[in-house]
Amino acid sequence: MIVGAGFAGLTAARRIARLPIQVTLVDRRNHHTFQPLLYQVATAGLSPGEIAAPIRWILSSHSNVEVLLAEVVDFNLEQKQVITKEHAIDYDFLIIASGATHAYFGHDEWEPLAPGLKTVEDALEIRRRVLLAFELAERRKVEESAAGNDATSASPLQFVVVGGGPTGVELAGTLAEIARHALNGEFRKIDPRQSRILLIEGGPRVLPAYSAELSRKAEEQLHHLGVEVRTSKMVTRVEPGAVWTGDQRISAAVILWAAGVAASPLGQKLGATVDRAGRVHVQRDLSIPGYKEVFVIGDLAALQDENGRMLPGVAPVAIQQGEWVAKIIARDLENQPRRDFHYFDKGSLATIGRAAAVAQFGKFELSGYFAWLAWLFIHILFLIGFRNRMIVMIQWAWSYLTYERGARLITGSDELPGWTEHESHAEKGRTMEPPISADKRRA
């Protein structure tokens, strides 16, 4: 039994399928989401179908793999059973790879005000809010001029991204690209290029997992794209239409959350110890203490490398752990001793926006256009499904040449939290933080 069809679970399923074992892969969703490109759906560059593929379809050539759409709610490790909402299913080996979601530092009430980005639904909700904000701003202006109120100088739209990790950086960079280029010339009353995109990071620098030099370069590239970066600012409060850092209130038409990570709650059903984020402490063979047939891999697992550093929650770790579990099970079947998992770090890449990225391969560092090309190449290469790869390549080539974004649909509700239709401008002026002047920024 494998629980979860992310990178870890899917890799494990594909590898174990080669063994003479019956595999059941359970997931709450019918599709595998290619998480590294999810921000492109959130920013209207790609359609969901282009970065997600049905799990069944991915595994259809393996006749010993069964895919089950169901929600796992508990385990009975003594009876060797997985408990879904509907039933209990027996297993011989159990691999739990149910991943992680965003965390709000104990403020779950912030979630509807500041959506995070983990699922296709999240991405569509972010896309809806971002595009709707521009539409509502235009509509307000049209109404004002219909009311003969042409002279008001309403504040420009403000977007706030909370969290300066890879997801926050790519969201902010791409939002800036939308405002500066994709929507340019399509509105008659507002100027999308006037929009402000703020990236707020609690720590002293963006992309803290990278070297200080690359962080600095990433920040430079963000500035160049039009993002205002504010580091060492903890968000203390989120309310409809605004974020607080300490006693400073920052108005925001849209707030996006890319700050915290919490492991899947399934980790706490195992009786094993978990870390602060809820990740399960696994042994070096990726099994949990006391149950050598139960493995935890991917973002749900907490494991240190040889130097005592926690392995990051990234796709390469998940994939290598998926492969390793398959090897361990193969050795178990042959009655050979288990071997320890070692993560082989091939390097890491983070994209920032159009022709902007940073890359770190051991001591070798890269930033800007060539890092972006490397990022592009690697992500298209790993994208599942030949057709998806081709279509994503075309979409990107097109976007790159024309600055257009192909999936700019608003579906669902036409309301934004904190957006009031006839907000008075005196009121708005009072609460809106003054723009940073160019001088001040340079200082």
Considering only residues 68 to 87 of the shown chain, the ones binding a copy of itself according to CB under 8 A are 68-71, 86-87
CB of 352 to a copy of itself, least distance (A): 24
Question: H/E element holding 39?
Answer: helix 38-42
- Site size toward a copy of itself (CB under 8 A) is 66
CB of 269 to a copy of itself, least distance (A): 19
| One of 8, 103, 120, 288 touching a copy of itself (CB under 8 A) | 120
Segment near a copy of itself (CB under 8 A), from 116-124, 168-176, 240-248, 293-301?
116-124
| One of 2, 37, 50, 126 touching a copy of itself (CB under 8 A) | 50
Give the nearer residue to a copy of itself in terms of CB position, either 338 or 425.
425
Segment near a copy of itself (CB under 8 A), from 128-136, 213-221, 285-293, 329-337?
128-136
CB of 392 to a copy of itself, least distance (A): 10
Give the nearer residue to a copy of itself in terms of CB position, either 120 or 325.
120
CB of 151 to a copy of itself, least distance (A): 18
- Are 218 and 224 in contact by the 8 Å Cβ rule? The answer is no
- 345 vs 311, 318, 349, 362, 433, CA distance in Å? 10, 12, 12, 8, 43
CB of 107 to a copy of itself, least distance (A): 26
| One of 89, 154, 373, 378 touching a copy of itself (CB under 8 A) | 89
Burial of residue 159, with CB atoms counted within 10 A of its CB: 0-12 exposed, 13-18 middle, 19 or more buried:
buried
- 252 vs 291, 351, 424, CA distance in Å? 49, 24, 16
Catalytic residue among 50, 125, 170, 219, which?
170
CB of 64 to a copy of itself, least distance (A): 9
Give the nearer residue to a copy of itself in terms of CB position, either 185 or 290.
185
Considering only residues 414 to 433 of the shown chain, the ones binding a copy of itself according to CB under 8 A are 414, 421-422
- Are 7 and 15 in contact by the 8 Å Cβ rule? The answer is no
- Are 45 and 174 in contact by the 8 Å Cβ rule? The answer is yes
Segment near a copy of itself (CB under 8 A), from 58-66, 198-206, 247-255, 426-434?
58-66
Question: H/E element holding 352?
Answer: strand 348-353
CA angle, 222 then 228 then 231, to 5°: 95
What is the Cα Rg of the chain in Å? Answer: 23
Q: Are strands 65-69 and 364-367 parallel, antiparallel or unpaired?
A: unpaired
The reply on whether position 410 binds a copy of itself by CB under 8 A is: yes
CB of 207 to a copy of itself, least distance (A): 30
Give the nearer residue to a copy of itself in terms of CB position, either 333 or 409.
409
Segment near a copy of itself (CB under 8 A), from 239-247, 278-286, 334-342, 388-396?
388-396
- For residue 78, indicate whether it is catalytic: no
Considering only residues 3 to 42 of the shown chain, the ones binding a copy of itself according to CB under 8 A are 24, 28-31
Give the nearer residue to a copy of itself in terms of CB position, either 136 or 252.
136
CB of 54 to a copy of itself, least distance (A): 4
The reply on whether position 214 binds a copy of itself by CB under 8 A is: no
The reply on whether position 310 binds a copy of itself by CB under 8 A is: no
| One of 365, 391, 403, 428 touching a copy of itself (CB under 8 A) | 391
Considering only residues 153 to 192 of the shown chain, the ones binding a copy of itself according to CB under 8 A are 183, 185-189
Binding residues vs a copy of itself (CB under 8 A): 24, 28-31, 44, 46-50, 52-54, 56-57, 60, 63, 66-71, 86-90, 120-121, 124, 131-132, 135-136, 138-139, 142-143, 146-147, 183, 185-189, 387-388, 390-391, 394-395, 398, 404, 406-412, 414, 421-422
The residues carrying an active-site annotation are 170
